[in-house]
């Protein structure tokens, strides 16, 4: 999983014929604090019938992310984005 060509969560769900698409993101409060994180998965019929397997795969990927810890390339990507956002706000 991640930058080094490993499988993504969606790739794994598609490979197992459990899902068609996936979207995710935070819900933000007014002060930009993250209060919730959502993962929306469009299931196949097989995924709908075996939703417990879908949940298992999602949690396996969450645990993998926790094991790997922070990734430098992701930090750098967000750092650049926040810098651009800040520069655009000050103009």
Report whether 61 contacts 1 (CB < 8 A).
yes
Give the Cα separation of 19 and 71 in Å (integer).
Answer: 26
Is the residue at 2 inside a domain? Answer: no
Is the residue at 76 inside a domain? Answer: yes
Domain limits for position 72: 9-90
**Number of structural domains in the chain:** 1
pLDDT block averages, 10 residues each, the chain of length 91: 60 96 84 81 97 96 87 80 78 61
Residue 9 has a CB neighbour count (10 Å cut-off) of 20
Is the residue at 3 inside a domain? Answer: no
Give the Cα separation of 83 and 90 in Å (integer).
Answer: 11
Is the residue at 41 inside a domain? Answer: yes
Is the residue at 28 inside a domain? Answer: yes
Give the Cα separation of 4 and 80 in Å (integer).
Answer: 20
> So what's the pLDDT on residue 2?
39
> So what's the pLDDT on residue 6?
54
């Amino acid at each position: 999983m991640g930058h080094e060509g490993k499988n993504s969560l969606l790739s794994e769900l598609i490979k197992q014929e459990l899902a068609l698409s996936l979207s995710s993101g935070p819900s933000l409060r007014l002060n930009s604090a993250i209060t919730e994180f959502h993962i929306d998965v469009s299931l196949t019929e097989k995924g709908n019938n075996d939703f417990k397997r879908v949940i298992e795969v999602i949690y396996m990927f969450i645990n993998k992310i926790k094991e790997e810890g922070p990734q430098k390339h992701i930090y750098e990507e967000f750092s650049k984005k926040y810098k651009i956002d800040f520069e655009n706000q000050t103009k």
